[in-house]
Amino acid sequence: MQRRKIILAAYQCGPGLGSVSQIGWEWYSRLAREHEVTLVTHVRNREALAAAGAPLAGSRIVYVDTEWFAGPLYRLSRRLFPFSEHSVFMLSSLDYFLFDFQAWRALAARMRQGERFSLLHRVTPITLAAPSWLGRLGLPVVLGPLNCGLDTPAGFESVLRKDAVWLTRLRGVGRLAAAFSGATRHAARILTATQATLASVPARHRPRCRMMVENGVDLERFRASAWPQPPSASEPLRVLFVGRLVPFKGVGMLLDAAALAAASGRPIEVTIVGSGPMEQAWRAQAAALGIERLVRFMGALPAEQVAAEMARCHVFCLPSVRESGGAVLLEAMACARPVIAVGFGGPAEIVDDEVGRLLAPVSAGQVTADLAAVLADVCADPATWRRRGIAGRRRAEQMFSWPAKVAGAAAVYDELAAVEASHA
């Protein structure tokens, strides 16, 4: 792999700061092993990056400070949307517009002073609705992997009622700003994570798109382990969910399906890992269904304990009805656990019958009924479900590990270098 001088633009970047920030950190920490990286990120990430040892060897960091605007904006969004973390994220990220402009000015000043770079790779934000002036630096620009363009599925009004999904319509404003700034037009390559994202890219720019799933998985942290003793009359089927406890994650449907399984006399245990505004409501639902003794609410856990819970379960379930990514599915697959998810958005790009089962995104009632049937099938045919877990680990190794993703990025960099050389 040829060593290059890369500007890595990552507005969100830092371990332990959320899924998108984790993506920024993974790209930075892994690209810095192979290239000379200049990371451009927000000053709010400084503490987490420093605690992780940044700046890493062979790299440097340019911090951009817009906290005077971002801080009040975040506090306002928390008051406006107490049940919708997605809406809080969207509104509080509006300071990105200012961040990007200041990043462009800082980098342009360095280049005027004689600094030279091979290319610029913007990894976060992961949306087409984020405008960028960075394409005006005159460098080849790689965007992504981007994961956006996901609509809201019909039939799940009861699940999404508290999630303020109407706010997603404001993405159109961002797309107009992105078109004005030339973010897509100036990109030499656009990495798209899903078919929905690809469809969101204007048709004239799609020839420059390359498919790459947004998330990756750390195979050292999430290791394959032997499947537990198969579920039986004396051994409960152990089902695991990991994620934020927010409305669109659909945990209520999992609880309803578990109640159906229990009513049929099938032993079952559901473990819920995560925290959020819906925890008390879902605890109350479990009690109302009479299954509170069958449900373990564990709260948020560090990655090592999440991996331990995955090793303990028979099957992983993500009943989210509007999941753009699905990193936790990759983690479960890396642990050699079969996975169940709703076939909408990111999970539809990851899960199939070889590694688990997708549930048709028809309605909350239909997902509940189908999920109960799938859980019954895990009990009836454990050998097949064990093989699905093994296949998931194999797929995680081949397609979704971070080394595989960095190698894919290197191929894109080489492609751009060849184009530059042909024009020299």
pLDDT in tens, the chain (424 residues): 688 999 999 999 999 888 889 999 999 999 999 999 999 999 999 999 999 999 999 899 999 998 877 667 667 666 766 665 555 555 656 788 889 999 999 999 999 999 999 999 999 998 887 878 898 999 999 998 998 777 777 776 666 665 555 445 544 444 554 454 456 778 999 999 888 888 888 889 999 999 998 889 999 999 999 999 999 888 999 999 999 999 899 999 999 999 999 999 989 999 999 999 999 999 999 999 999 999 999 999 998 999 999 999 999 999 999 888 889 999 999 999 999 999 988 899 899 999 999 999 999 999 999 999 999 999 999 999 999 999 999 999 999 999 989 999 999 999 998 887 776 6
Label residue 407 left, alpha or beta by phi (over 0 means left) and psi (-120 to 50 means alpha): alpha
Q: Which of 221, 198, 228, 191 is nearest to 327 (CA)?
A: 221
Architecture of domain 237-399: 3-Layer(aba) Sandwich (3.40)
Residue 277's φ and ψ, nearest 5 degrees, are -70, -15
**What's the CA gap between 194 and 217, in Å, rounded?**
17
Domain limits, CATH 3.40.50.2000, in the chain: 237-399
For residue 61, give the nearest of 14, 119, 114 by alpha carbon. Answer: 14
* Fold annotation for 5-216+402-423: Rossmann fold (3.40.50)
**Going edge to edge, which strands form the sheet with 339-342?**
295-299, 268-273, 237-242, 315-318, 339-342, 356-359
Question: How long a stretch of residues is the chain?
Answer: 424
Helix and strand totals (H; E) in the chain? 16, 13
414 close to 422: Cβ distance less than 8 angstroms: no
Looking up tokens 């999440």, which residue turns up?
Answer: 306
Residue 367: name the closest of 335, 321, 324 by CA: 321
